[in-house]
């Protein structure tokens, strides 16, 4: 018994080409859909202006360093609530109270997941923050300091929440 070879006709070639491009379009369309729905876009509304002010940011960091302020961040083990302790002291190792004005827990990738935090000034240079222990991973703690003259400084610390 001999089998007759199947002929490759123009209709079969057309069907294969159409099937190939259909699969490619579906794959590309899925990729574009996922990319557009997972990337929030620009995280800064005015990146050009912010870039122009970068020298001012560097000057502020230098001025803060020259003041000799020491800022420490401690993540305490989680029980019912996780506690983050911010300690702020001057160059003479004296506590600085009333200086922290704002604290934001920033997600390193998705700004939509940033969490503004309430804090308790303990009046001894310690500032306590309570946080849900379900929040885990690497985060950026953005701390805004405001001195008695109203001048603000921005300090960022990376923290790991287990």
Query: What is the tens place of the pLDDT at every residue in 15-69?
Result: 999 999 999 999 999 999 998 887 766 667 788 888 888 888 899 889 888 999 9
Residue 99: closest CA among 159, 141, 161, 144:
144
Report the distance separating Cα 79 and Cα 91, nearest Å.
34
Report the distance separating Cα 85 and Cα 142, nearest Å.
13
pTM: 0.68
1 — pLDDT class (breaks 50, 70, 90): low
The confidence score (pLDDT) of residue 42 equals: 65
Query: What is the tens place of the pLDDT at every residue in 85-118?
Result: 999 999 999 998 888 889 999 998 888 889 999 9
The residue extents of the domains of the chain are 9-39, 47-161
In degrees and rounded to multiples of 5, residue 115 shows phi and psi of -125, 115
The domain defined by 47-161 carries CATH number 3.30.70.260: no
Query: What is the tens place of the pLDDT at every residue in 111-155?
Result: 888 999 999 888 888 999 998 888 889 999 999 998 888 888 889
∠ Cα 31 37 41 (to 5°): 110
């Amino acid at each position: 018994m001999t089998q007759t070879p199947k002929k490759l006709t123009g209709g079969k070639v057309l069907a294969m080409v159409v099937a190939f491009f259909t699969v490619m379009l579906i794959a590309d369309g899925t990729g574009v859909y996922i990319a557009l729905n997972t990337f929030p876009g620009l995280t800064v509304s005015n990146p050009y202006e912010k870039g122009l002010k970068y020298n001012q940011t560097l000057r502020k960091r230098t001025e803060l360093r020259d003041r000799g302020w020491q800022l420490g961040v401690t993540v305490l083990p989680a029980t019912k609530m996780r506690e983050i302790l911010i300690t702020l002291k001057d160059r003479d190792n004296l506590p600085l109270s009333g200086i922290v004005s704002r604290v934001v827990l920033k997600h390193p990738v998705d700004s939509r997941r940033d969490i503004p935090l309430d804090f308790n000034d303990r009046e001894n240079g310690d500032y306590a923050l309570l946080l849900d222990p379900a929040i885990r991973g690497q985060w950026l703690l953005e701390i805004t300091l405001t001195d008695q003259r109203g001048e603000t400084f921005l300090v960022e610390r990376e923290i790991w929440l287990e």
